[in-house]
Amino acid sequence: MKVVEGLKWRYAVKKFDSTRKLTQDQINYVKEAINFIPSSYGLQPYKVLEISDPAIREQLKEAAYGQTQLTDAAHLFVFANFTEFGPDKVDDFINLTSNINDMPKESSEAYRNTLNNMISSMTQQQLSVWTAKQVYIALGSMLAAASELEIDSAAMEGFDKDRFDQILKLKEKGLASAVIGAIGYRSAEDANQFLKKVRKPMDQLFEKV
Ligand SMILES: Cc1cc2nc3c(=O)[nH]c(=O)nc-3n(C[C@H](O)[C@H](O)[C@H](O)COP(=O)(O)O)c2cc1C
């Protein structure tokens, strides 16, 4: 499916068919879409956890008010944003950039300083808001890529973030859970699939200036 066709086809799955799995190729395709979407400065200030342990999924379901997508989706991502982004992470990014583009690290000195200055000018709360925003771009890419392959999906932020962070031990890693991306196949019993898509008329959403 083309992008817009896929976005019109997809819907927010409430009930997945837990017996249907995805192939590794399908999962890898969606993961590449998550990785290749851009982020501010290219920093990718987040991690994407893939949760396969059924016991952990069960705990996450409880912390997500019993939403069954957590246990029934074929593949479960939890997008977690960094709450700290120190000079060490900037160094990692500069090193990766120089290695990939075969550039001397010294040529990136000005960029390294720009990034460190930009990051240190934010309070910890501002930093967390900024990193969490980046995660949502990746989530959008996941939704689009899944629909291109006719894989069903659910984006979810209805969960207790503190509980998720505890279960997944995220605080210790300077991370915070932001949003869930569940992919797999819809259950035939999921009534949501029969609803018409509700979107604003184009002339209400867009305004020419
Ligand atoms: C960031 C985000 C968080 C969402 N959180 C939940 C959620 O916790 N539970 C749920 O059932 N649906 C959740 N949804 C689904 C939305 O309600 C749904 O996408 C929206 O109503 C549009 O419907 P559609 O996706 O079927 O086009 C979420 C969607 C997004 C994009």
Q: Is residue 111 part of a domain?
A: no
Q: Is residue 109 part of a domain?
A: no
Residue 70: what pLDDT? Answer: 98
Q: What is the pTM of this model?
A: 0.97
C-alpha span between 176 and 84 (Å, rounded): 10
CATH of the domain at 162: 3.40.109.10
Residue 24: what pLDDT? Answer: 98
Q: Is residue 72 part of a domain?
A: yes
The response to whether residue 158 sits with its C-beta less than 6 Å from ligand 1 reads: yes
Q: Is residue 98 part of a domain?
A: no
C-alpha span between 177 and 171 (Å, rounded): 9
Residue 103: what pLDDT? Answer: 84
Q: Assess contact for 13 and 154: CB atoms under 8 A.
A: yes
C-alpha span between 22 and 74 (Å, rounded): 6
Return the ligand 1 atom nearest residue 159 CA: 8
C-alpha span between 174 and 47 (Å, rounded): 10
Question: Best substitution site from 4, 142, 153, 156 to test ligand 1's pocket, by max atoms within 8 Å of Cβ?
Answer: 156
Q: Assess contact for 13 and 181: CB atoms under 8 A.
A: no
C-alpha span between 166 and 10 (Å, rounded): 32
Q: How many residues does the chain have?
A: 209
C-alpha span between 28 and 10 (Å, rounded): 19
Whole-number Å distance, alpha carbon 182 to ligand 1 midpoint, is: 11
Per-residue pLDDT of the chain (209 residues; tens, 9 = 90+): 999 999 999 999 999 999 999 999 999 999 999 999 999 999 999 999 999 999 999 999 999 999 999 999 999 999 999 999 999 999 999 999 999 998 887 788 999 999 999 999 999 999 999 999 999 999 999 999 999 999 999 999 999 999 999 999 999 999 999 999 999 999 999 999 999 999 999 999 999 99
Q: Is residue 189 part of a domain?
A: yes
Whole-number Å distance, alpha carbon 117 to ligand 1 midpoint, is: 36
Return the ligand 1 atom nearest residue 179 CA: 1
Q: Is residue 197 part of a domain?
A: yes
Q: What total number of domains does the chain contain?
A: 1
Q: Is residue 9 part of a domain?
A: yes
Q: Is residue 56 part of a domain?
A: yes
Whole-number Å distance, alpha carbon 154 to ligand 1 midpoint, is: 7
152 DSSP β-pair partners: 184
Residue type at 59 in one-letter notation: Q
Backbone torsions φ then ψ of 16, nearest 5 degrees: -90, 155
Token pair, residue 50, equals: 């893939």
Q: Assess contact for 34 and 141: CB atoms under 8 A.
A: yes
The response to whether residue 11 sits with its C-beta less than 6 Å from ligand 1 reads: yes
Q: Domain of 32?
A: 3-88+123-205
